[in-house]
Amino acid sequence: MGYLIQGRVVVPGETSGELLVSTEPLSFWGGYDQQTGEIIDRRNALSGRNARGRILAVPNTVGSSTTTAVLLEAVRAGTAPAALITRGVDTFLALASVVAGEMYGRPIPIVALDDAQFARLQTGTQVSISADGKIKTTPAPPLVTVVTPSYNMARYLPETIESVLSQNYPNIEYIVIDGGSTDNTLDILKRFAGRLRFVSEPDHGPADAIAKGLRQAHGEIVAWLNADDTYLPGAIRTAVDYLVSHPAADVVYGEGWWIDEDGAIISRYPTLAFDAKVLQRDCFICQPSAFLRASSYRRCALDPNVTRSFDYDLWIRMSKAGFQFSSIPEYLANSRMHKGAKTIYEREIVLRSSMDLLKRHYGYVPLPWVFGYTAYRLDHRDQFFEPLRYSAWKYLASLPLGLWYNRRKPLKFFSEWALKGAQELWGRRPRLRRTPGPAC
């Protein structure tokens, strides 16, 4: 439910936007980046959040004329808050607003509240301020945190970033974790400063980067989007609407497209309605189209030590722990397949990693994975741009490998191998034409 507060006008003005609330004083000098609008005071709970264009509520400031100087520079740079709400009248904030009006014609509206009124304010709430000091609030939509891991992906990164920032959803926290790229990734990220947060430092790969980013997340809903993938318009709102209206769901995922390096559609991603038994054989969830409740993710998080197929590992662990998955028919994302993608150029490692995690979680590696790995070892076709080719020799070679991987369940594997072999002899080859989950 929204509510109405009658505040005291310090500097009149009308505006609306998302509310950022600090219960502690904020040091603008050294605590507010006037070039981007980011709050960088590490002692403040809002550290890392961006106040540009938002309504910033602080009980008071720490400093004197320095507060005025920082805010004036932020107004000039276009990175100042849209309005300020204080607990009582703060002289230095008021001075900054008045001078900004004189110098730039853009005074910052300021409203003062008493202690009880200030205590009602909550970060994320949508607020409108009228010229007479009335503050009207409406419940904020859930904050969604999107994390992008990146390493030398400058070719695709701008499109990925734009696909997030152009979403028709008002409450997004976007974090890019870069692994110390040596291309022009940093130049790209700096262009978007103030609209996203980024860190650039060495890491241990994408799983480590994503886990690091999600540990910094403030959102009620979280997702990650690789630096070469993109969201489709309306993806985040669609996912949020589903999770809000289906409180029992922990994870929602939609349809997706495989696209090539130029963004042209290759084919539909082979998603399936969720089935825990099918998950034992195939990674059918289109990862860039997946969104998770943060509360659920925190109970079953990515394992940064799983460096390949880490999304498949997460889905399996969440499924085994009883988390609820839901699939929806809307197309939400594009998964880019290109020669530089790890799932292509590290195909052998990905296949072996997937077999290892299936054995670890279920104690059994199904035939399609064994056959795919055997075929790759024999012909080195990537099984995506170069489709998997069946041959009797490859099939025969998969038997000893499969028996070794499944040495605790040799009869189960031999039965599956013999049944599929009989189907092959009769000309039916539905499961050996492609390796399961080539994007996992």
Number of C-beta neighbours around residue 112 at 10 A? 21
What is the C-alpha separation between 320 and 140, in angstroms, rounded? Answer: 33
16's tokens: 């609306």
Does the CA dihedral 23-28-31-35 come out positive or negative?
positive
What is the C-alpha separation between 119 and 98, in angstroms, rounded? Answer: 26
Q: Can you tell me which residue has the tokens 């809000």? A: 244
Q: Can you tell me which residue has the tokens 């030590």? A: 305
DSSP assignment of 336-399: E--TTSHHHHTHHHHHHHHHHHHHHHHS---HHHHHHHHHHHHH---SSSS-----HHHHHHHH
Active site residue 181: no
Relative orientation angle of helices 367-379 and 392-405, to the nearest 10 degrees = 120
What is the C-alpha separation between 35 and 58, in angstroms, rounded? Answer: 20
Q: Is 118 exposed, middle or buried (0-12, 13-18, 19+ CB in 10 A)?
A: buried
Q: Which amino acid is at 62?
A: V
Helix (H, G, I), strand (E, B) or coil at 436: coil
365's tokens: 């590696």
Q: Can you tell me which residue has the tokens 């949508």? A: 126
What is the C-alpha separation between 256 and 226, in angstroms, rounded? Answer: 14
Q: Are 297 and 382 in contact (CB under 8 A)?
A: no
What is the C-alpha separation between 293 and 289, in angstroms, rounded? Answer: 14
**194: region left, alpha or beta (phi > 0 left; psi from -120 to 50 alpha):** left
Selecting among 22, 27, 64, 150, the annotated active-site residue is 64
Catalytically active residues are: 64
